[in-house]
Amino acid sequence: MTSSTTLHGTTVICARFGGKVAIAGDGQITHGNTILKTNARKIRKIGGGVAIAGFAGATADALALFERLEGKLEQYPKQIKRAAVELAKDWRTDRYLRKLEAVMTIADREVDLLISGNGDVVESEDGLLAIGSGGPFALAAARAFRENDKIDAATLARKSIAIAAGICIYTNDQILIESM
C-alpha cells in the first residue's frame, strides 16, 4: 500500500513471511535532484524492541513522529494498533503535527500497519506494506518473490528494495533491515 501523497526520496517495505517480519529501507536522502546522503537510517526498533518502524518523507518530521509513536507505545504497552490509532488521531487534529510530511510503517510479531497524516491506520491484507516513491516497485517485487517458499522475510524485503533501487531514482541500494 502506498500513501495517497507520493513522498520522494525513499523506499521502505514491511514484509511478513514465514513467521517473521522485516522492515527494510534504502539509505538515500535527496533534495530536489541532488543526493545529499546515501546511508541514512530510516528503520529502527522502537518501544524497547517490541516493534520495528520505518518512514518515508521529511526526515525531521519523521523523527518527531517516531518520538510521538514511542510515547504512545509507552502509554499503551504492546498495543501497537492502539498506539498507531492514537498517533494518527493526534497527527490529524494537532495544528503542529498536521503539517508534518511523512508516512510510517510499524510492525511487531503480530501486526503490521501503515500510518499517515491523513488519519490512515491500515493493516496489510497480505503481510506486505510499502511506502515512499519506490514503494509500488518494492511491493510488486515482494509479491513476486513471495512465490518462492524458500525465501525469508528479511531476504524478501532486501531483494524488493534492490529491485526498486534499479527503477526509482530516489532509492539506492544501501539497504538497512530490522527484523523480528
Active site residues: 10
The kind and range of the H/E element at 35 are: strand 34-37
Max Cα-Cα span within the chain: 47
Cα distance between residue 104 and residue 102, in whole Å: 7
| Residues written for the chain | 180
Report the alpha-carbon distance of residue 36 to residue 17 in Å, rounded.
Answer: 33
What is the C-alpha separation between 120 and 27, in angstroms, rounded? 25
The helix (H) or strand (E) run that includes residue 53 is strand 51-57
Contact yes or no for 26/7 (Cβ under 8 A): no
End-to-end CA distance of the chain: 21
